[in-house]
Structures are given as structure tokens and as C-alpha cells.
Chain A
Amino acid sequence: MLRFAGKRLLWALVTLWAIITITFIIMHSIPGDPFAREGKMPPAVYENLTKHYHLDEPLYVQYFLYIKSLLVFDFGPSLKSSTLTVNDYIEKGFPVSLHLGIQALLLAVVLGLIFGVIAALNRNKWPDYLSMVLAIIGISVPSFILATFLINYFAVEWGLLPAATWSSWSHTILPTISLAMLPMAYIARLMRSSMLEVLNQDFMLTAKSKGLNKGFIIMKYGVRNAILPVVSVLGILAANLVTGSFVVESIFGIPGVGELFVDGIFNRDYPVILGSTIFYSMVLIFLIFIVDIAYFWIDPRIKVAGEEQ
């Protein structure tokens, strides 16, 4: 177990380093001067600015300085704000994004599992068709379209829910739905096929012939086995939520890290883009690491396969 965790941790660090390096190279290969938009300034000021941001050093020195500051979780200054650093932005935005993300993930997992199980149990009957049609719609409709439709009907036409901003729980409902739809659809489809496979297994027949309660069999033998593939894709789904949150947060005007990232793109504020990308990657890699460990712990069969390697 410890060996496995250590191996995964090392792998996570290598991945994180690769992402930092790639995004750093991408962000520094942009042609032009980051201060070009600031208008005319005295040469002394300009020189001080470049010196302050270490832009006069060669690229590899800048790279090592950046890595060094990342080691103490310092994401550097923002080019557009004189007082706020990228850290300030993230500290403000992350709790909001985390709240939205957890709420959406919970909704997606719970509803996705329910739809998937119902579909599998009623194979080729109407509940199956209904859940699968819902799932296909969920996969086919991009989140920004879903979000605008929801705003148009629930907020503008019917006036049931607030259209934007983030101040009370009712403000979180529409963004959560917009964000949760895609992962929910994936989970429902995955759960359906995995559940169908489990239902065909011999142990299900054995349990049935022992005269066990049907609901007990489904929960204890069916869902518990079928859920494993869903756990294994949770990392990918979290990545999906992150990229979905860029769009959803900026449509609903939610002050999270996603909106920060999108604003960074619009303002061409490269340290903010770089910082939020790396911050997101850290969160994602941490999540995938946790999921790997949890999977190892949930499914004892992995242990055997892992030791054989």
C-alpha cells in the first residue's frame, strides 16, 4: 500500500513539473511586450518594471525563479493590478469555485448513479430509454448553451431563480445544474453499462437463488461492484468540471478561479493565466492521486495486479 502510494506520489510530482514547464514555455513564447498596453512611460520606470518582474534575466533564470517561488506557493504578481497578487485572487476565488465544484460533483454523482442503475434494471423499457435520452442530451448540449437557456427561462421569463452573481444558496442552483449536466450524463452511461455487466455475473444468480432480498442484492452485490469504473473516472470528471467552470462562472458572473482565468485571457494577463492554470493542475493532480489511492483501497483486486507488475 505505502509502496503504491509512494509510486503514485512520485508520478504526480513528475506530471505537475511537466505541466508547469509546458505552461511556462507556452506563456513565455508569446511575442511582444507585456507592458505595451500600459501606454508611454519614462525609460527609468520601464527599466524598473522589467527588473522588478525579472524580465531582463535570461529565460532559464526566470524559469528557476518561478519554480522557486512556486515551491512556497507564491504564484507571483498580476500584471494588471498594482496591489493584488495572483495569490490574492486565488485566495478569494477558490472557496467559491470549490463550493460550486463540490455541489456540482455531488449532484452529478448522485443523479448519475441513480439514472444509471434504474436504466440497467429496466433494460430496454421506458425508464432505460428516458435516462439514456437524458444522458445523450447532457453530452450533446455544451454548458454555455445550457446555462443561457436556463437563465432565459428560469430567470428572465419565469423569474423563479436569480440570473447571476453569487450571494445566496438560490444563486447557486442554476450554475450547479449547468455544470453538473455533462458529468452526470457520463456517469449515468458508464453506470448503466457497468451495472448490466455485473447483473450478468454468476454471483448475482447465486445471491438470488439463496433467496436474498432483491433490494439488498442490488445494493450490496450490484451497485458495489458496478461503481468501480465510475470511481476510476472521477479524476477525469473533475477535470471536466474545472474546464466547464471557466464558462459557467463567467456566464453567471461568479467570482471564482474560473472567472479569474477567463478574465486573465481577455486582459492578456499572463501571470494570472499561468498561475491559475498551475493552481488548477495542482488541484486536479491532487484529486487524481486521492482517487488512485481510494481505488486501490476499495478494490482489493488491484493489489494483486499491481504486485504482479
Chain B
Amino acid sequence: MSKGNIVLTKEMFVPAEDNFLEAETISAPSVSYWRETWRRLKENKLALFGLIIIILLVLMAIVGPYINGYSYFEQDFSKKNQPPNSEHWFGTDTAGRDLFTRAWYGARISLFIGLMAALIDFVVGVIYGGISAIKGGRTDNIMMRIAEVLFSIPYLLMVILMMIILERGIWPIIVAMTITGWIPMARLVRGQVLQLKELEYVQAANAMGAGTFWTLAKHMVPNMMGPILVNITLTVPTAIFAEATLSFLGLGIPAPEASWGTMASDSLGSILIGNFYQLAIPALLISITMFAFNVFGDGLRDALDPKLKK
């Protein structure tokens, strides 16, 4: 092998392209946290189904009461206990009220109670859990011990006891539900804050003179929104369940307002005389809603933390 016989000519070379460095970069575009979550959530057909049901329920809660022209309190005793027909799509109840309108009016109240309870739990939980984790030490210990004691009272028992002394109505129910309902959220937030407060960007914010609450609200909460959202989604069915049980015990929404719980418990008497549809409609709606929120919450949890789902 002699080296003299290779002739290099100009034609053998082409100028390098400007973008040759790009070969080194990773081909897929960078995907944001929520886009990635949504991509994984889409693969979970059951969770997607739950989400679609939730959207439909919310839409019907908004427009449903106006669709067929009856009001939720209008009574017509000449048309009581009618099974579902073309005029009253879900039939009428023992006072001749249109069940279709009442069902969607009830959806409005049940969903409002559920979402409001979840929202208040979220606010109180973030403040309590956040303070507990940021202060740390003795304060943290005492605050968590108090939470633990309160948490050992069964949730539904506490709600029932509160409703005995409060007046009947939507806001008293929400108050009763949130009086110990915030504890799981506070524990979750505390755990998250304990992890996050060691991270560089939080330390950077503190170094630049950001206050405790600013750091908590602006830097920590957005970064723990995933688990928080899962918790909120799973709080809604708990609240709807509790509301239904309260109504069953006669501590729910007073007439003529309707929630699914009151509709179901009002109809208990009529199933013995064969009006089973009066129970079946609210029962199905409660069950479908709980189902939708539960599968969506589970799916969201799996999508946010793919490690869980090996």
C-alpha cells in the first residue's frame, strides 16, 4: 500500500450543509408536561369515555332544565306518576313534576356541590399543607397531628353530625363536607411541598427575595397540579355520594329543590307501588357520574405517573 496513488480532486468534495449539527439533536420535538399527559390519557379508552360522560353531564346540567319547557317545581296533580312518555321524557313524580327537568336541575346541584366541595378542599388543603411543610419542625408536627385526629373521625359521620346542627341547604352541605374533607388534600400538598422545597428553582426564588406565599402559589402549586387534579377528580364522586346519603337520611336539599339524592330518596316509597323508574333515573345518573369521575381520575393518575402502570 503506497500512499502516492490517491488523487484528491475538488469534485470529490461537497460543502458541508449549515445544519450538520442538528444530526446530534434528538429528533422528537420537546413535549410539555400536560401535552404528554394528554397523549397518555388518550390511549386509555375507559378514562376518555369517563371524560366524555363528564363533559356531557356538565352540558346537560347547563341546558337540560330548559329543553322541554317544564320547570323543576311545577306540579300537575292530574299527571302524577306517569311513566316515561313522549310528553314527559323521564316521566313524572308523585307530585306530577317533570322528571326530565328535575333530573338535569338535580345534576346542576349535585355537580355544583361536588365541584365546590372539591375546590374548597383544594384551597384549604394547599394553605394548611403548605404552611405545615414550609414551617417544618414543631409546627409541622403539631399541625399534622391535629389533622390526623380529625381524619380518624369517619368522613360521612362528621358530615351527618354537622348537618344535624346546620340548616338544610346547598351551602350548609358544602360546609359540612369540607369541615374534614380538606385533610387528604393537605397531606398530599405537604408531601409535595417537602419534595419541591429542596429544588433549585424554589431556592432561586427564595434567594431573589420571594415571600413564602408567593413561592407556594407561583412556583410550587403549578408544579404539583397533577396529583392535586387527581385528588379533586376523586373528591367529586365522594361528595356526590355523601350528598345522596344525606338526602336519604332527610338531611339533604329541602323541597322543591332537587338533587339526585333527594330524588332517589323521595322515590323510595313509590317503588313498592310499581313506579320503579322514579328511583331508576336518579340512581342511574348518580352511578354514571360516580363511574365517570372515578375512571377519569384513575386514568389521569396513570397518565401523570407512568411508572405506576408498568
Contacts and interface: CB of A to CB of B under 8 A. Distances in A.
A21 to B, nearest CB: 10
B157 A243 contact: yes
Contact of B149 (A14, A30, A144, A262): A14
Contacts of B165: 26-27, 29-30
Interface in B250-273: 250-251, 264-265, 268, 271-272
B161 A145 contact: no
B64 to A, nearest CB: 21
A89 to B, nearest CB: 18
Interface stretch (A1-9, A71-79, A273-281): A273-281
Interface in B152-188: 152-157, 160-162, 164-165
Contacts of B156: 243
A276 to B, nearest CB: 10
A243 B159 CA distance: 11
B245 interface: yes
A50 B274 CA distance: 48
A42 B150 CA distance: 43
Interface in A126-178: 136-137, 139-142, 144-145, 148-149, 152, 156
A148 B164 contact: no
Interface stretch (B111-119, B193-201, B211-219, B285-293): B285-293
Interface in B20-65: none
Question: Which of the four size classes fits the interface of chain A?
Answer: 35 or more
Nearest to A262: B249
A265 B149 contact: no
A140 B149 contact: no
A104 to B, nearest CB: 16
A280 B294 contact: no
A219 interface: no
A142 B248 CA distance: 11
Contacts, number: 105
Contact of B291 (A140, A242, A243): A140
A196 B309 CA distance: 10
Contact of A280 (B157, B244, B308): B157
A200 interface: yes
B264 A288 contact: no
B242 to A, nearest CB: 9
Q: Which applies to chain A's interface (DSSP): helix, strand, loop or mixed?
A: helix
B90 interface: no
Given A142-B245, A144-B244, A265-B160, A284 B154 contact: yes
A5 B7 CA distance: 89
Contacts of A26: 161-162, 164-165
A139 B164 CA distance: 26
A60 interface: no
A242 B271 contact: no
A288 B152 contact: yes
A64 interface: no
19 contacts: A26-B164, A140-B237, A140-B291, A140-B294, A141-B290, A142-B290, A144-B265, A145-B244, A145-B283, A148-B271, A156-B271, A200-B310, A243-B154, A247-B249, A266-B250, A268-B164, A281-B153, A284-B152, A288-B152
Interface of A: 14-15, 18-19, 22-23, 26-27, 29-30, 136-137, 139-142, 144-145, 148-149, 152, 156, 193, 196, 200, 239-240, 242-243, 246-247, 251, 262, 265-266, 268, 273, 277, 280-281, 284-285, 288
